[in-house]
């Protein structure tokens, strides 16, 4: 991809080019959703230590009762070079829409978060500020034993480099967590499974700007009439979706994608990228057979529903982003290029 093409697309969307970090830079740690650092302090300590040990950065805490004020303080502090969330949650829909635009427009910087942080990623996207969908302190940074090498590699690309990167598929994955409330949950090792790789449908090539996020959070945007990209914008968008640890049934995935179709979104977008679905949680412990069935049904449901409204665009599923590990922190608001002939995906970090 030529540098002129990148500049032209960013100019079209008025996307800001963010500065990259260097070792020793300060990064803000915030909790714009659940106050994870208070609920699981020992897990939090592990995650913060990795900021220093693995990436050579200096973490600075921005924990305030007023979450909006904490966000604004983190972005407006000129010494802070990036903002990293502790975890997701379920209520950003109640206040992100009311955030003032000026502090963020005047102080754009990389933001890392996923799940409920879909709301903040969308808010920044609408301001022309790219972010990274992934990389939370409690999950990716505080991974038991050590951080996943695959996750670290993509985080380093996001933090320190600026170029087009070919996305790959991790040979293994995990979606069964260890209990953070129990000591063995901190010292244990997760069990990983063989990753079957991407599920690819469609022969067209595509290039567009990444937008989307957690399906349940996107659904909240629709329900509460939160501003999202316009139908004109969607003509240049590669859509990202993935489902959370709530493990919604596949009827939900159908209703969600049907809503995208009926709103005119699916006929406009350039492509669909779907993250590997979470299939196990402490209050929803599926068996190996049930997990396989769930993933197969979600894959078929999404593909069949997209094809009702768009027969041509590439639909690639089981990518390494979202609520399972290891994880690619997807460059939200940056350019993705899909080479269907060679079954390759590239993204601008």
Describe the crossing of helices 215-223 and 118-126 by its angle, rounded to 10 degrees: 60
122 shares its domain with 28: yes
* The predicted structure's pLDDT at residue 12: 54
148 shares its domain with 273: no
43-63 pLDDT tens trace: 999 999 999 999 999 999 999
Number of structural domains found in the chain? 2
Contact 75, 107 (CB under 8 A): yes
* The predicted structure's pLDDT at residue 263: 97
The torsion of the CA quartet 285, 288, 289, 294, rounded to 10 degrees, works out to 60
Instruction: Quote the pTM value.
Output: 0.95
- Which residues make beta-bridge pairs with 207? 337
108 shares its domain with 198: no
138 shares its domain with 227: no
| 227 assigned to some structural domain | yes
**Tokens standing for residue 107:** 């102080």
**Tokens standing for residue 60:** 């600075």
**Tokens standing for residue 322:** 């979202």
Minimum mean pLDDT range among 7-11, 175-179, 206-210, 310-314:
7-11
Residue 262 has pLDDT above 70, yes or no: yes
135 shares its domain with 172: no
| 91 assigned to some structural domain | yes
| 113 assigned to some structural domain | yes
247 shares its domain with 160: no
Residue 9 has pLDDT above 70, yes or no: no
50 shares its domain with 60: yes
Closest to 297 in 3D by CA, of 285, 309, 305: 305
- The residue segments making up the domain with residue 251 are 166-178+192-348
52 shares its domain with 160: yes
Binning pLDDT at 50, 70 and 90, where does residue 185 land? confident
212 shares its domain with 152: no
Average pLDDT, the chain: 95
Largest CA distance in the chain: 52
Q: How far apart are CA 131 and CA 122, in angstroms?
A: 9
User: Tokens 């979706």 sit at which residue?
Assistant: 241
* The predicted structure's pLDDT at residue 13: 61
| CATH label of the domain that carries residue 66 | 3.40.50.10740
319 shares its domain with 305: yes
205 shares its domain with 59: no
328-347 pLDDT tens trace: 999 999 999 999 999 999 99
| CATH label of the domain that carries residue 250 | 3.50.30.60
213 shares its domain with 254: yes
DSSP 104-116: HHHS---EEE-GG
């Amino acid at each position: 991809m030529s540098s002129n093409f990148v500049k032209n697309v960013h100019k079209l969307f008025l996307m800001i080019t963010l500065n990259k970090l260097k070792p020793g830079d300060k990064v803000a740690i915030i909790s714009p959703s659940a106050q994870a650092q208070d609920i699981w302090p020992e897990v939090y300590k592990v995650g913060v230590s990795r900021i220093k040990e693995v990436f050579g950065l200096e973490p600075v805490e921005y924990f305030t009762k007023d979450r909006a004020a904490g966000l604004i303080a983190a972005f407006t502090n000129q010494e802070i070079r990036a903002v990293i969330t502790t975890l997701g949650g379920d209520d950003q829909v109640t206040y992100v829409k009311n955030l003032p635009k000026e502090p963020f427009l005047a102080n754009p910087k990389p933001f890392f978060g996923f799940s409920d942080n879909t709301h903040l990623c969308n808010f920044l996207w609408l301001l022309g500020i790219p972010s990274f969908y992934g990389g939370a302190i409690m999950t990716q940074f505080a991974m038991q034993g050590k951080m996943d090498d695959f996750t670290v590699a993509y985080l380093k690309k996001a933090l320190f480099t600026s170029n087009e990167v070919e996305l790959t598929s991790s040979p293994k994955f995990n979606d069964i967590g260890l209990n953070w409330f129990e000591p063995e949950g901190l010292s244990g090792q997760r069990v990983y499974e063989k990753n079957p790789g991407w599920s690819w449908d469609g022969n067209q090539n595509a290039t567009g700007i990444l937008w989307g996020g957690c399906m349940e959070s996107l659904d909240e945007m629709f329900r509460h009439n939160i501003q999202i990209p316009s139908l004109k914008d969607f003509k240049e968008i590669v859509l990202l979706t993935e489902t959370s640890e709530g493990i919604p049934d596949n009827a939900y995935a159908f209703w969600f994608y049907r809503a995208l179709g009926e709103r005119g979104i699916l006929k406009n977008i350039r492509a669909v990228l779907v993250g590997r679905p979470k299939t196990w949680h402490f209050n929803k412990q599926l068996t190996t057979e049930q997990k396989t069935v769930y993933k197969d049904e979600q894959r078929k449901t999404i593909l069949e529903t997209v094809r009702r409204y768009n027969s041509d665009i590439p639909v690639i599923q089981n990518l390494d982003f979202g609520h399972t590990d290891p994880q690619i922190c997807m460059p939200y608001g940056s350019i993705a290029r899909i080479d269907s002939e060679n079954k390759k995906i590239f993204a601008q970090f």
